[in-house]
Amino acid sequence: MKILAIETSCDETAISIIEAKRGGKTLTVLSNVVVSQIAVHKPYGGVFPMLAKREHAKNLVPVLETALRESESFLLRSKKLELPPAVEKELRSIFEREPELFEAFQEFLPTIKTPKIDAIAFTRGPGLPPALWVGVNFARALSTFWKIPLIPVNHMEGHMLSSLLKRSGNQKTEITEPAFPVVALLISGGHTEIVLSTGLFKYKNIGSTRDDAVGEAFDKAARILGLPYPGGPEISARAERFRKQGKHSSGLYTLPRPMIRSNDFDFSFSGIKTAVLYMVQKIPDLTEEIRDEICYEFEEAVTETLLSKTMRAAEKYVPRMVLLGGGVASNSHIQKAFKDAFLKNFPDAEVRIPENELSTDNALMIAFAGYMRCAHDEKSIIPAGSKKIKDIKADGNWGL
- At its nearest, how many Å lie between ligand KG4 and the CB of residue 107? 30
Among 5, 212, 361, 382, binds ligand KG4 (CB under 6 A): 361
From residue 8, give the alpha-carbon distance in Å to each of 69, 133, 219, 243.
20, 8, 20, 36
Ranges of beta strands (E only) in the chain are 2-7, 12-20, 26-36, 119-125, 150-154, 165-167, 172-175, 182-187, 192-199, 202-208, 321-325, 350-352
CB 224 within 8 A of CB 277: yes
How far from the centroid of its chain's Cα atoms is residue 94's Cα? 25
Distance CA 172, CA 175 (A): 10
Would you tell me how many other CB atoms lie within 10 Å of the CB of residue 23? 9
Residue 307's SS3 state is: helix
String of contacts with ligand KG4 for each residue 110-129, x by CB under 6 A: --------------------
Binding part of the chain for ligand KG4, among 17-25, 141-149, 187-195, 310-318 by CB under 6 A, reads 187-195
Alpha helices in 81-128 (DSSP H): 85-94, 99-108
Output 115 or 326, the one with its CB closest to ligand KG4: 326
Output 149 or 190, the one with its CB closest to ligand KG4: 190
Output 227 or 279, the one with its CB closest to ligand KG4: 227
- At its nearest, how many Å lie between ligand KG4 and the CB of residue 388? 26
Query: 213-272: which residues touch ligand KG4 (CB under 6 A)?
Result: 215, 218-219, 230-233, 236
Side by side, the strands of the sheet bearing 150-154 are 150-154, 119-125, 2-7, 12-20, 26-36, 172-175, 165-167
Output 71 or 359, the one with its CB closest to ligand KG4: 359
- The residue count for binding ligand KG4 (CB under 6 A) is 19
- At its nearest, how many Å lie between Zn ion and the CB of residue 159? 6
Binding part of the chain for ligand KG4, among 116-124, 134-142, 310-318, 327-335 by CB under 6 A, reads 327-335
Among 3, 4, 10, 295, binds ligand KG4 (CB under 6 A): 10
Residue 154 binding ligand KG4, by CB under 6 A: no
Q: Inter-axis angle of helices 288-317 and 270-281, to 10 degrees?
A: 160
- Of 90, 165, 100, 229, nearest in space to 363 by CA: 165
Output 109 or 366, the one with its CB closest to ligand KG4: 366
> Amino acid identity, residue 10?
C
CB 255 within 8 A of CB 301: yes
Question: Residue 236 touches which of ligand KG4, Zn ion, none (CB < 5 to 8 A by kind)?
Answer: ligand KG4
Residues 6+ apart with CB under 8 A from 241: 292
Output 120 or 217, the one with its CB closest to ligand KG4: 217
Strand partners, 123: 153
Question: Residue 331 touches which of ligand KG4, Zn ion, none (CB < 5 to 8 A by kind)?
Answer: ligand KG4
Question: Residue 218 touches which of ligand KG4, Zn ion, none (CB < 5 to 8 A by kind)?
Answer: ligand KG4
Residue 328 binding ligand KG4, by CB under 6 A: yes
- At its nearest, how many Å lie between Zn ion and the CB of residue 87? 33
Distance CA 141, CA 102 (A): 9
Among 189, 207, 258, 354, binds ligand KG4 (CB under 6 A): 189
Output 98 or 361, the one with its CB closest to ligand KG4: 361
Question: Residue 231 touches which of Zn ion, ligand KG4, none (CB < 5 to 8 A by kind)?
Answer: ligand KG4
Binding part of the chain for ligand KG4, among 51-59, 91-99, 263-271, 324-332 by CB under 6 A, reads 324-332
Interface positions with Zn ion (CB under 5 A): 188, 361
Residue 13's SS3 state is: strand
Residue 354 binding ligand KG4, by CB under 6 A: no
CB 230 within 8 A of CB 190: no
Residue 398 binding ligand KG4, by CB under 6 A: no
Residues that bind ligand KG4 (CB under 6 A): 10, 188-190, 215, 218-219, 230-233, 236, 326-328, 330-331, 360-361
